[in-house]
Amino acid sequence: MTPLLWIFTRWRGWRRPPYRDRWWERFGWGDIHHDRPIWIHAVSVGEAIAAVPLVHALQKRYPNIPILVTSTTPTGAEIVAQRLGTSVRRHYLPYDTSAAMRRFLQRQQPRACLIMETEIWPNLCYWAARFQLPVLLINARLSPRSLKGYGRFSRLFRPALASMTAVAAQSPEDAEAFRQLGAAKVLVIENIKYDLPEPLEALEKGRFWRQHLATRQVWVFASTHAGEEKMAIDVFKQLQIAWPHLLLVLIPRHPHRRDTVEVALQMAGVFYALRSQEIEVESKNVLLVDTLGEVMDFYAAADLVTIGGSFVPVGGHNPLEAAVLSCPIIFGPYMENFRRIARDMLDGNAAVQVDDANALAQQLQQWLQHPQSAQEQGNRALAFVQQQRGSLEKIMQILDDLDLS
């Protein structure tokens, strides 16, 4: 299998150059360490962002134990570098082959492994058990579609889940799904994403953007996927009729899709600026954010926020980063990845869900006409987050029982 993986690695690096970075780590190679870190795996952007408060809590609880953070995607690795810098050691997760995973564990020698959300790797779990390494699945979630997919290969994944020290599920529904797959110890600890730290840096950068934008109203459509940018542009052009100074901040989930989004903007005849090239947007209708790590900065400057990945069948993205910044939030019908958060926010009147572009335009129009109503909606979103905090301390208690020192 290794020759095929080598060919795959070269091919992917050719198609997407960021995948060439530290490619050897994907085969388990890297510096040898003997300091026995706590290892956190955060596959990509969303998991890396969610891992940040967990890292800070671990550093406070265990100040003498280093932290190792692995990622799978270059974008996830970049978020870790931006938000945690040199306070953690970074590594790409090896391919889940027996040789690569064994080599990685021998060279890194972690004392515990905390996997974010829904990453179940059979060889990782097998060698962790061989090395008597505790493995916890943190913030675990499992959509009905994922449950069905994993269930098809239950002979492969059941032993992996059974070997885990614990699964900390986001909800009773997630807990039951993991039990069906074979997890032995399952706890319901809610979602650690509620334990976001106070976003002081984002608030400061948001004030900077507000100074540049003066009195313009700002609609942020963040973490968009294919199909959503055109929808956003169409809705924006409708809104421009009554609000000609409205600014759309369009943030694709994957910055490498910039060229495709630019074509859509050009075909629509929209004047736009690229975030990577300029910050002066007074004469522009749209700011296309083709950089990483600035979503919360723009949330802090926003009057209105729409969550991407929710108007196409992707499963939605995390609305809590907007909520903690008191943003009025709209998302679409596809929020399976955050179904419990979405449901609870809707029940608490902390967000609005719409079915399509027409309903999105109507809700945005209502908030633009009545900014006080939008502000009250944002205040409810912040209050909702503040009421849900506390899951991180429960995770710390599980780790205390493992006696990591």
pLDDT tens-digit readout, 102-160 = 999 999 999 999 999 888 999 999 999 999 999 999 999 888 888 888 888 888 899 99
Q: Report the DSSP pairing between strands 247-252 and 304-307.
A: unpaired
- For the segment 324-350, the average pLDDT, to the nearest whole number, is 94
Place of tokens 């940040």: 52
- For the segment 53-57, the average pLDDT, to the nearest whole number, is 93
Strand partners, 252: 224
185 neighbors 165 (Cβ within 8 angstroms): yes
pLDDT at 53 over 80: yes
For 40-73, give one letter per residue: b (16+ CB within 10 A) or e.
bbbbbbbbbbbbbbbbbbbbebbeebbbbbbbbb
33 neighbors 110 (Cβ within 8 angstroms): no
Place of tokens 């710390």: 396
Is there a catalytic annotation at residue 47? yes
pLDDT at 175 over 60: yes
DSSP category for residue 22: T
Q: What backbone phi and psi angles, to 5 degrees, belong to 247?
A: -110, 125
352 neighbors 154 (Cβ within 8 angstroms): no
Average pLDDT, the chain: 92
**Residue 92 CA to chain centroid, in angstroms?**
17
Q: Give start and end residues of each alpha helix (H) in 243-294.
A: 258-267
Strand partners, 69: 40, 90
Q: What backbone phi and psi angles, to 5 degrees, belong to 28?
A: 90, 0
Distance CA(110)–CA(130), nearest Å, equals: 13
Q: Give start and end residues of each alpha helix (H) in 35-185.
A: 45-61, 74-84, 98-108, 122-130, 144-152, 154-163, 172-181
Candidates 25, 47, 78, 117; catalytic one: 47
pLDDT band of 50, cuts 50, 70, 90: confident
Question: Hey, what are 357's tokens?
Answer: 């572009």
Strand partners, 68: 39, 89
- For the segment 64-83, the average pLDDT, to the nearest whole number, is 94
- List, for residues 202-246, the tens digit of each pLDDT value: 999 999 988 888 789 999 999 999 999 999 999 999 999 999 999
pLDDT at 1 over 70: no
Question: Hey, what are 113's tokens?
Answer: 């492994």
Q: What backbone phi and psi angles, to 5 degrees, belong to 121?
A: -115, 110
Place of tokens 């409708």: 238
338 neighbors 170 (Cβ within 8 angstroms): no
pLDDT at 14 over 80: yes
Task: Write down the pLDDT at residue 147.
Answer: 85
Give the sheet arrangement for strand 272-274, strand by strand.
272-274, 286-288, 247-252, 218-224, 304-307, 329-331, 352-353
